[in-house]
C-alpha cells in the first residue's frame, strides 16, 4: 500500500470505526458493519452510500461527536445513511459510556489496534518497523474473560486485527489483569513500562514485536482523534 501522507489520520479514524462496527456486528448488536470506502475529493463513505464525510469532517465527528455528512449522498440514500448514522451513534454510546464491560473494552481494543495497523499499512516508517515480524501473531486478551484480539499479517499483505478465535498460535501474548486496566489502556492511561512490572498486564513471547506495536499504538493515540 502506498504512503498517503497526512491523510493517514483520517484513514486510521475511519478504519477504527469500521473495526468497532465489525465487533458490534459479530456480537449481534448491529445489523451490519460500516465498511469504509475512500472516494474522490477526500471523501470517505461509511457503510455504503448514504453516510459520507469529507475526511476532515470525519475527524471532527469523531472528536466532537458531530459533523455534517455530505447532504446529497444522505438524501439520495436516506435509509441506508440513517442506519449507518445509528450504528455510528451506537459505537459512540458504548465507547463514551462510564460503564466498563467486555463489550466496551473489546470494541476499544479492536478499534485502537486497527488504528495501529492502519499506520503500519500506510506509513512507510511504521511499515518498515514491522517488516521483520510478518510471521508473527500477537494475542491481546484480558485475564478471566473470553476477549481475544489478534494482530497479524494477512495473506492480503496487510496488517489486520480480528476478534475471537484464530487459526494460528500466538508468538506473543499481552494479557491485561482485568477489564479496568484494559479500559485504562484503551483510554491512553496505561504505562507500558510500569504496567507489566506492577502486574497490570503480563507480556510473554517475542517482546520486540510487541514493543513496536505498542510504540505505533501510542503514536496513533497521540495523532488520531478518539471518542474516548
Partner 1 sequence: MSLNHDKSDKLFSRALNVIPGGIYGHVAPVAGLPTHLPKYIQNASGCRFNDVDGNEWIDFMCGFGAILHGYSHPEIDAFANEQRLKGSIFNQPSPVMVELAESLTNKIDFADWTVFAKNGSDLTTWAIRVAREHTQRPYVIKAKGSYHGVDAWCDPGFGGRVDEDRSKILEFPWNDLECLKTLLKSYANQVSSIILTPYHHAAFAPSIMPTETFWSEVEQVCQKNGIILILDDVRVGGRLHDGGSHRYFNFTPDLSVYSKALGNGYAISACTGKDFLRNASKEVFLTGSCWNDAVAMSAALKSLEISHEFNVAESILAKGKYFSQGMCAIAKKNNLPLNMSGPFSMPYPCFEGDESLFRIQKFCEIAAGKGLYFHPHHNWFISNAHSIADLDLAIDLADQAMCELVDLENS
Of 22-30, 56-64, 145-153, 164-172, the window that binds partner 1 (rule: CB under 8 A) is 164-172
Nearer to partner 1, 45 or 136 (CB): 136
Rounded Cα distance between 204 and 65, Å, is 38
Under the binding rule (CB under 8 A), the answer on residue 171 touching partner 1 is yes
- The stretch near partner 1 (CB under 8 A) out of 46-54, 69-77, 101-109, 191-199 is 191-199
Tell me whether residue 93 or residue 168 sits nearer to partner 1 (CB atom): 168
In this complex, which beta carbon is closest to partner 1, that of residue 58 or of residue 181?
A: 181
Q: Which is nearer to partner 1, 69 or 170 (CB)?
A: 170
| 204 interacts with partner 1 by CB under 8 A | yes
Give min distance, CB of 194 to partner 1, in A.
Answer: 5
Asked whether 24 and 18 are in contact (CB, 8 A), the reply is no
Binding of partner 1 at residue 24 (CB under 8 A)? no
Among 129, 130, 179, 220, binds partner 1 (CB under 8 A): 129
Residue 172 sits in the site that holds partner 1 (CB under 8 A): yes
Residues near partner 1 (CB under 8 A), total: 21
Kindly indicate which of the ranges 13-21, 29-37, 148-156, 187-195 contains the residues binding partner 1, using the contact rule CB under 8 A.
187-195
CB atoms within 10 A of CB 151: 28
Q: Which residues bind partner 1 (CB under 8 A)?
A: 129, 170-172, 191-194, 196-199, 202-208, 212, 215
Amino acid at each position: 500500500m502506498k504512503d498517503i501522507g497526512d491523510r493517514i489520520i483520517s484513514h486510521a479514524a475511519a478504519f477504527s470505526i469500521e473495526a468497532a462496527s465489525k465487533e458490534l456486528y459479530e456480537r449481534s448488536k448491529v445489523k451490519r458493519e460500516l465498511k469504509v470506502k475512500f472516494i474522490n475529493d477526500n471523501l470517505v463513505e461509511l457503510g455504503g452510500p448514504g453516510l459520507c464525510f469529507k475526511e476532515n469532517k470525519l475527524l471532527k465527528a469523531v472528536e466532537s461527536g458531530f459533523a455534517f455528512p455530505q447532504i446529497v449522498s444522505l438524501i439520495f440514500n436516506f435509509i441506508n445513511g440513517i442506519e449507518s448514522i445509528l450504528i455510528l451513534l451506537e459505537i459512540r454510546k458504548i465507547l463514551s459510556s462510564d460503564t466498563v464491560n467486555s463489550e466496551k473494552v473489546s470494541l476499544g481494543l479492536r478499534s485502537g489496534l486497527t488504528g495501529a495497523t492502519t499506520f503500519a499499512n500506510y506509513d512507510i516508517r511504521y511499515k518498515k518497523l514491522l517488516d521483520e515480524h510478518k510471521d508473527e501473531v500477537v494475542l491481546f486478551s484480558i485475564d478471566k474473560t473470553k476477549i481475544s484480539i489478534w494482530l497479524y499479517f494477512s495473506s492480503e499483505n496487510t496488517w489486520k486485527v480480528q476478534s475471537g478465535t484464530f487459526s494460528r498460535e500466538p508468538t506473543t501474548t499481552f494479557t491485561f489483569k482485568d477489564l479496568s486496566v484494559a479500559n485504562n489502556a484503551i483510554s491512553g492511561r496505561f504505562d507500558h513500562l510500569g504496567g507489566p512490572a506492577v502486574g497490570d498486564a503480563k507480556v510473554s513471547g517475542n517482546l520486540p514485536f510487541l514493543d513496536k506495536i505498542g510504540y505505533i499504538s501510542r503514536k496513533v493515540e497521540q495523532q488520531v482523534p478518539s471518542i474516548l
